Amino acid sequence: MTKLDTRMIDVSDKKDTQRLAIASACISMSTNTLRKVKAKRTPKGDVLSVAQAAGIMAAKQTFGLIPLCHPLLITSIFIDFSFPSKKTAIVIEATVRGKGKTGFEMEALMAAAVAALTIYDMCKMFDQDMTITDMRLIKKTGGKSGTYIAR
């Protein structure tokens, strides 16, 4: 039997710094579904408002869902939606800010993922072919490793 050595990283000696993380995800859907979302005409209500709230809630709960994440003091969460002109899709961008000893990447990724899953949940009754793709970290600042910007 293999002994696993899993533990949360000790950040006691790290200094608090201002931090930012931006993550995104994309959900593709039919033209008809996208039209319903934009018009706020779905049986479950305003899809993007609910997805925005769900993403915010998810970022705040990340430490309870990802086993080795630290609880962090989030000072700001912003979730934005855009509609690429050449696709029938919604791009979700989640920005999380705070001050802490470790980064906010997981909180931003969790916010983008749960917002996408919420859109899926609210639209699945008329579009089972939706796909969630391109979930990624776009940018992070703060901490010893400095700034990261995705290529």
- In tens, the pLDDT along 33-84 reads 999 999 998 999 999 999 999 999 999 999 999 999 999 999 999 999 999 9
Domain membership flag for residue 79? yes
Give the other-Cβ count within 10 Å of 90's Cβ: 26
CATH value at residue 72: 3.30.70.640
From residue 18, alpha-carbon distances to 21, 48, 75, 100 in Å are 11, 29, 10, 7
pLDDT for 144 equals: 86
3-class DSSP assignment, residue 55: helix
Domain membership flag for residue 15? no
- pTM of this prediction? 0.94
Domain membership flag for residue 116? yes
Range of the domain at 143: 22-149
Domain membership flag for residue 103? yes
Domain membership flag for residue 67? yes
Q: Is position 121 annotated as part of the catalytic site?
A: yes
Domain membership flag for residue 122? yes
φ, ψ dihedrals at 35, nearest 5°: -60, -45
Average pLDDT over residues 4-12: 89
Domain membership flag for residue 4? no
Q: What is the mean pLDDT of the chain?
A: 95
- Among residues 16, 80, 121, 134, the one annotated as catalytic is 121
pLDDT for 139 equals: 98
Total of domains in the chain: 1
Domain membership flag for residue 65? yes
